[in-house]
Every structure is written in C-alpha cells, then in structure tokens.
Amino acid sequence: MTIIQDIRTAPERTFLADYLETLSLVERLHRLLLDVIKDEFERLGILEINAVQALLLFNIGENEVTAGELKSRGYYQGSNVSYNLKKLVDLGYMHHQRCQIDRRSVRVRLTAKGRELNNVDPQAVKRYIAAEQRKKAHIDAAKDELETVTEQLSWREELMHVLLNMDPSAFERLTQRLLRESGFIQVEVTGRSGDGGIDGKGIMRLGGLLSFHVIFQCKRYRGSVSAGQVRDFRGAMVGRADKGLLITTGNFTKDAVREATRDGAPAIDLVDGDSLVEKLRELALGVETRRIEVEQITIDPAWFAKI
C-alpha cells in the first residue's frame, strides 16, 4: 500500500494559497482593464481594433521594440503577437522595419495615428470607476435585501417550530394572553371535552361603548383547516356568542375562507400561522425585537475630481 502525504508545512501552504489568490486578482484586474478600454472604444466609435490590441499600443508607447522584447516583458501572449502586430501595421497604427544590425529582427513603433489613440483619457477611467461603484452599490443593496428576507424567514420558522412543539394546554394559554394583549377582557380558557371544540371565550370591547362576546378555537398543527371544520365550529358557537375566532398555526383552504364569511351565517374571523407569528412579534410575546443601526460609507471620486 502506498501512502501519499502532503509534507508541506502550514506556512508553505499559506504562502501557496496567497500566491494563487494574488494570481487570480491580477487576472481579474487585467480583465477589468480590458473592459475599460472596450467601453471607451465603443463610446468613440472605434471598432476596427480590440481592447487587447489597444493595450499593446499602450505598452509600446514612444519606444521602438521588437516582437521578442514584447514577449520577454510579458506584455502579450507570444502566440498572438505576430498576428496583432501585422493587423496594427495594416491599419496604420504601427510602423515596422528591419533592424539595421540584425536583419532577422523586425522593430516596430507607433505612427502618428497610433500615438493619438495611445493617449489615455482620465475622464474615461473616472466614468468607468463611477459606473462600477454604482453597479457594486446595487449589488450590495440586493444582497442586504436578500439577507433581510432570509433573517425574517429564519425567525418566523424558529417561532413556528416553538409553537408547534408547545403543549396543547400551553398553546391555549398563549392564545388567552394574546387576546388579552389585543384588547379582549374576561378571557377564559375552557377546553372542556364535548364542548364542540371550543377552547375559550372572551369579550371584545370597542371604544368603551360596544362589546362582542367571542368564542375561540385553537388548532395547533401544520395542515390546512377545511370548510367542514369551520362549519363544525360555527355549529358549536351558535347561540353562545356574537362572533367566532379560529386560530391555527397552519392555514385555511379557500373553501374554509368562503365558509367563514358565508352570507346569512354568524361571521368567523380566521387567524392563520403567518398572522399569528406577526401578531406575537407585534405584541412582543416571547419575541424580542432589537433595532441595529448600520452605517454605510460611500466614496464619491467624482467629487474629488472637481476640486
């Protein structure tokens, strides 16, 4: 059996990781530079040469060099130098001639047309940087929004998990507390068997002048409450209260919603799991909300450029 083990020490592995990351950043920076040149050429309507060929002109500048020197300086991939130099010569951006000392070598320099194109426009760079910063700001804003939505889903799911794992009698007491905090008085939990599924009753007062007797039922499960269950609850509440309140950690079917508001029948208000979770947060019942201020600082390069 052969065992292959990495014998590099931790510092060596760290150095290698940093080295590879640096190479990746350099490549990314080079691509961004090509994007700057491409965008400026499109703005100026120069379409006969590409960004890489323009960068080659910039690297030559005021010098007179050979293709071999360009390769050795790392300015360009050797396999493409000859093609791009020939194209730049054909388009009139570059002049070439045989070296007087070594006739095998061809030296190139920029023509007047090439030197004119070689001038870097600082405003173009500023425009590109500003555009990239705006793009980054939009991306950051989208990420913040996504994180906010994720956090909201996270606390809602956690709270729902707690509710679903509560003892049935504890969930009824929580409903009692919820109704009291919402303005109900004389809220009692009955929960007697054979009482048609009624879990409690209370009185809702409006403006100190009107009052409604309300009975409620709690359904602590993940499923959907059906229209039949709403009808059964209504049958149990007839003659006992003015309104009914059906609270569930799940949701209600469309037929159940229609049954709850059916004409000619006592009205039943429905509270599903999402509404229940939000109400607990609003009343701070077992849910603590802390406000955290975040300071975001943005640099405006255009402002400094005008100084």
CATH number, position 205: 3.40.1350.10
Let me know whether 76 and 147 are in one domain: no
Domain that holds residue 148: 121-307
Predicted confidence (pLDDT) at residue 11 exceeds the cutoff of 70 = no
Q: How far apart are CA 260 and CA 244, in angstroms?
A: 9
Residue at a domain's end among 66, 86, 118: 118
Write down the mean pLDDT value for the chain.
78
26 belongs to a structural domain: yes
Let me know whether 160 and 211 are in one domain: yes
Residue 41's CATH number: 1.10.10.10
Q: Among residues of the chain, what percentage have pLDDT more than 70? A: 80
Let me know whether 181 and 232 are in one domain: yes
Q: In the structure, what pLDDT confidence band is assigned to residue 257 with cuts at 50, 70 and 90?
A: very high
CB neighbour list of residue 32: distance below 8 Å, 6 or more residues apart: 132
- Strand 200-206 relative to strand 184-189, pairing: antiparallel
Let me know whether 107 and 134 are in one domain: no
Residue at a domain's end among 76, 99, 118: 118
Q: How far apart are CA 188 and CA 180, in angstroms?
A: 10
Three-state secondary structure call for residue 110: strand
* 29-38, long-range: CB < 8 A, 24+ apart: 32/132, 35/128, 36/124, 36/125, 36/128
142 belongs to a structural domain: yes
Residue at a domain's end among 118, 151, 182: 118
Res 272: pLDDT: 93
Task: Give residue 239's region: left, alpha or beta (phi > 0; psi -120 to 50).
Answer: left
Q: Calculate mean pLDDT across residues 104-133.
A: 71
Res 85: pLDDT: 78
283 belongs to a structural domain: yes
2 belongs to a structural domain: no
Q: Among residues of the chain, what percentage have pLDDT more than 90? A: 15
pLDDT in tens, 60-77: 777 777 777 776 665 555
Q: What is the total count of domains within the chain?
A: 2
pTM for the predicted model, two decimal places: 0.48
- Highest-confidence segment of 145-149, 158-162, 256-260: 256-260
Let me know whether 300 and 206 are in one domain: yes
Amino acid present at 135: K
Res 248: pLDDT: 93
Res 71: pLDDT: 67
Res 94: pLDDT: 80
Res 40: pLDDT: 73
Predicted confidence (pLDDT) at residue 289 exceeds the cutoff of 70 = yes
Predicted confidence (pLDDT) at residue 111 exceeds the cutoff of 80 = yes
Q: How far apart are CA 39 and CA 51, in angstroms?
A: 9
Which residues partner with 89 through β-bridges? none
Let me know whether 80 and 212 are in one domain: no
Q: How far apart are CA 93 and CA 89, in angstroms?
A: 6
| Planar angle of CA 280, 284, 242, nearest 5 degrees | 45
pLDDT in tens, 262-283: 888 888 999 999 999 999 999 9
Alpha helix ranges (H) inside 182-268: 227-237, 254-260
